[in-house]
């Protein structure tokens, strides 16, 4: 049986280990985020402090797929990078 992914947002902390990134979730947990091949052009765009959309599997909450960048108009004050 297929379990749907958990979707959330996160803030990129570290971009030095491309193609993986250290991402902080809204609850403060730091996880590893990665880009799928279809999102490869984002590698050149992503910077520390960017807010991104994430998908996590219910089986491994330590890694997430970065599925897009949140536009600045979509960011609320509790999601904004510090």
Give the three-state DSSP class for 21: strand
ω before 19 within 30° of 0 (cis)?
yes
The CATH class of the 6-72 domain is: mainly beta
Task: Work out the burial of residue 51: count CB atoms within 10 Å of its CB; fewer than 13 is exposed, 13-18 middle, 19 or more buried.
Answer: buried
Tens digits of residue pLDDT in 11-56: 999 888 878 999 999 999 999 999 998 888 888 889 999 999 999 9
Structure pTM?
0.78
């Amino acid at each position: 049986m297929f379990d749907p992914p958990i979707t959330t947002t996160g803030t990129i902390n570290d971009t030095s280990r491309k193609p993986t990134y250290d991402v902080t979730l809204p609850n403060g947990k730091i996880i590893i985020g990665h880009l799928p091949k279809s999102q490869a052009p984002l590698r050149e765009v992503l910077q520390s402090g960017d807010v991104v959309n994430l998908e996590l599997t219910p089986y491994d909450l330590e890694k997430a797929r970065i599925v897009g960048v949140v536009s600045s108009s979509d960011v609320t004050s509790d999601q904004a990078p510090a």
